[in-house]
Structure 1
């Protein structure tokens, strides 16, 4: 009897409208330099449910989120998801334009996800917690909130 092959479905993701809009622009501008990675980001953006920034749950990974996860190797890590110009692996700042960065966006605490590293190996990560600083509200949304008061 052939062994059963278990296929993991990607969990549903939620995207803040401001993150979605900015990430679409980044993916489109990056497409000519690295089409494969741009396509991965576009794939994630297409499957995400986009909601108003103020309606994103506190435990959803968005740009600027700090999250703790455990890898399939038993390693515990804490990283912050950032835009490309802010990336610094020594400080735990992971760019959205990396395979793991693309895999992180829109997930919630408790989710597990498989992602393929640049060397072709597949890894599984389980998210323990997500911290979204209050400063993650985009400046345009903050201005909207001030104007509404």
Structure 2
């Protein structure tokens, strides 16, 4: 599984500083249990451009946001909400930040895509179609 893709091949990401701190702490807590996802999340938070909640650019995936994306390998479009592990419920469309796709989506903007490993280690291109921030949801 090629999890060491260089930062230059991944799009610039943006994060809310307080969320990045919480996600780094969470990643360290699960390092023994989920070493690959932990490493991915730590790497993503380390390379992100930081913002306050008020200055985060529009259309950026943050915690609690609803994200519509397409998996180019299958053409399937999905809409999920990115949540902390205790709120995850795949049947309700809430995916944990501690999954490869969750860690891959955080910080991306509408229109960006990323190659990201799935649970089987195959790389898939995910293209962000629409992001609805948590404060704009019903």
Higher helix fraction: Structure 1 or Structure 2?
1
Alignment: residue pair count:
130
Bigger drift between 100-109 and 33-42 goes to 33-42
- The answer as to 2:13 corresponding to 1:16 is no
Unaligned runs of 5+ in 2: 1-5
Query: C-alpha separation between the residues in 2 aligned to 1:27 and 1:93?
Result: 19
Does the residue aligned with 2:32 lie in a helix, a strand or coil?
coil
Q: For residues 42-71 of structure 1, give each alpha carbon's deviation from its aligned partner in whole angstroms, at most 9, with x where no partner exists.
A: 011111111111100121000000011111
TM-score, normalised on structure 2?
Answer: 0.88
Task: Indicate the residue corresponding to 2:78 in structure 1.
Answer: 77
List 4+ stretches of structure 1 deviating above 4 A: none
TM-score, normalised on structure 1?
Answer: 0.82
Correspondence list, 1:5-84, <5 A? 9-72=9-72, 73-84=74-85
Question: How big is the shift at 1:135?
Answer: 7.3
Question: How big is the shift at 1:24?
Answer: 1.1
Query: C-alpha separation between the residues in 2 aligned to 1:76 and 1:93?
Result: 15
